[in-house]
Copies of this chain bind each other. A is one copy, B any other.
Amino acid sequence: MLETYAERYQRDLVERVIPFWLQHSLDRVHGGYFTCLARDGRVYDPRKYVWLQGRAVWMFSRLYNELEPRQEFLDAATLGVEFLRRHARDAQGRVYFSLSQDGTPHAFQRKPYAAVFYQMGLFEYARASGDQGCLDESVDVFWRIVEWIRHPELLDRPLLAGQTPMSNLANLLVVGMMAFDLAQHFADPRYREVVRETIAGVARHYDAERRIFREHVALDGRDLMALPEGRLFNPGHSIETAWIMLHLLTLFPNAAHTRLALDALAGSLELGWDEQFGGILYFIDLAGYPTLQLEATMKLWWPHAEAIYALVLAATLTGEQRWVDWLERVDAYAYAHFVDPQYGEWFGYCNRQGDLALSSKGGNYKGFFHVPRALLFSLQAIERVNTP
């Protein structure tokens, strides 16, 4: 059963997704990647968005490391790494959000994520190329990110007195994912320790009544239902968290945590699936209030990509049919609404009813990342169960 999916995902990845980005995304003049690509691949904004530069470096490097050691992948990664290392950091070592086409600083975001994807790109590239400078810098940036998250005033966003101290799921996860990779490369026990703390931290985001991960929980366990961010449920993110948990747990196997991650996957799909129009909603207020996010009821590509991989992983780990049933549903929605058979890659943005709201293939937040990662990881998971 899963083999059918594997064949299709393999074909899509190799024939329709990777070629789209290799053909349209590489800036051979200035280095780095164009990510603002129209349906047919035309560049509609030449800027270099650093989240997506780092993510593409990571993706090309991971493809080189784990799909096939094609020189083309390594060259594409090198094009991004060299551009990033030349341009992406300011005098204090902080990472810009965006650069002009030639690498001149354009904007700074008071968030750590540009640095996170910079770090992930460098580390994966170091694995691919053996470049010691990249490896060293990825370690240095990792520890800076830990500090930036602990002390957001270092990124010009001091914690103000009216902010309820809360744990942010995204911050937890990115640190955990970086540490997970580092822990497998270095003997330094601190990385394993960060992974262990991440698992415990993510478990605190679990809402046992609803079987989902919440985006924000109070550090002191206080109820946050009076605040929109306390009631915020991002089904795609909760689903992504479930599979990331399952990855992290390979370092600290634990049946209770595994069950929790699988329960969260089931619960997130049950609560996040739009029974009326199909597809996974983007944001939900757990008390049924309107959200502050205008795009709440839109259907975005990445929750569907994340769900496909999470379901493949759950199916291969447990052998349970219920995951295959959900996979069939999510996969059918994604292929009916996001996949573009004509030009390759996926569309990104539909309205609630499933009509395309934007025809772009990439933008300042959509690049060469969620789709190829989900397809590659799904292939690999299916291959693992088929290779005794």
Chain A residues with a Cβ under 8 A of chain B: 36, 38-39, 42, 44-47, 96, 98-100, 103-108, 156-157, 160-163, 226-228, 285, 287, 289-292, 294-298, 349, 351-353, 355, 357-360, 363-364
- Closest chain-B Cβ to A307's Cβ sits at a distance in Å of 20
Given A105-B162, A108-B160, A290-B359, 9 further pairs, Cβ under 8 A: A44-B228, A44-B285, A104-B161, A104-B162, A105-B161, A290-B360, A294-B357, A296-B358, A352-B357
Q: Are B38 and A289 in contact, CB atoms less than 8 angstroms apart? A: yes
Given A296-B357, A352-B355, A227 and B290 contact (CB-CB distance below 8 Å): no
- Closest chain-B Cβ to A30's Cβ sits at a distance in Å of 12
Q: Which 8 A-B pairs have the closest CB atoms?
A: A104-B162, A100-B162, A290-B360, A44-B289, A106-B162, A105-B160, A351-B351, A290-B358
The main secondary structure of chain A at its interface with chain B is: loop
A161 CA to B99 CA in the complex, in Å?
9
CB-CB nearest in chain B for A103: B162
Q: Mind listing 13 A-B residue pairs with CB under 8 Å? A: A36-B228, A44-B228, A44-B289, A45-B292, A104-B162, A105-B162, A106-B160, A290-B359, A290-B363, A294-B294, A294-B349, A294-B358, A296-B358
CB-CB nearest in chain B for A347: B290
A105 CA to B363 CA in the complex, in Å?
33
* B residues near A108, Cβ cutoff 8 Å: 157, 160
* B residues near A285, Cβ cutoff 8 Å: 44
Choose among A162, A363, A364 the residue with the greatest number of B CB atoms under 10 Å from its CB.
Answer: A162
* B residues near A161, Cβ cutoff 8 Å: 104-105
Q: Are B100 and A358 in contact, CB atoms less than 8 angstroms apart? A: no
A62 CA to B26 CA in the complex, in Å?
55
* B residues near A363, Cβ cutoff 8 Å: 290, 292
Choose among A47, A98, A351 the residue with the greatest number of B CB atoms under 10 Å from its CB.
Answer: A351
CB-CB nearest in chain B for A360: B290
Interchain CB contact (< 8 A) of A292 among B36, B99, B297, B359: B36
Choose among A39, A103, A363 the residue with the greatest number of B CB atoms under 10 Å from its CB.
Answer: A363
Q: Are A291 and B106 in contact, CB atoms less than 8 angstroms apart? A: no
A352 CA to B357 CA in the complex, in Å?
8
- Closest chain-B Cβ to A138's Cβ sits at a distance in Å of 25
Interchain CB contact (< 8 A) of A160 among B104, B157, B160, B353: B104
* B residues near A44, Cβ cutoff 8 Å: 228, 285, 287, 289-290
- Closest chain-B Cβ to A5's Cβ sits at a distance in Å of 29
A297 CA to B294 CA in the complex, in Å?
12
CB-CB nearest in chain B for A157: B108
A353 CA to B355 CA in the complex, in Å?
10
- Closest chain-B Cβ to A66's Cβ sits at a distance in Å of 32
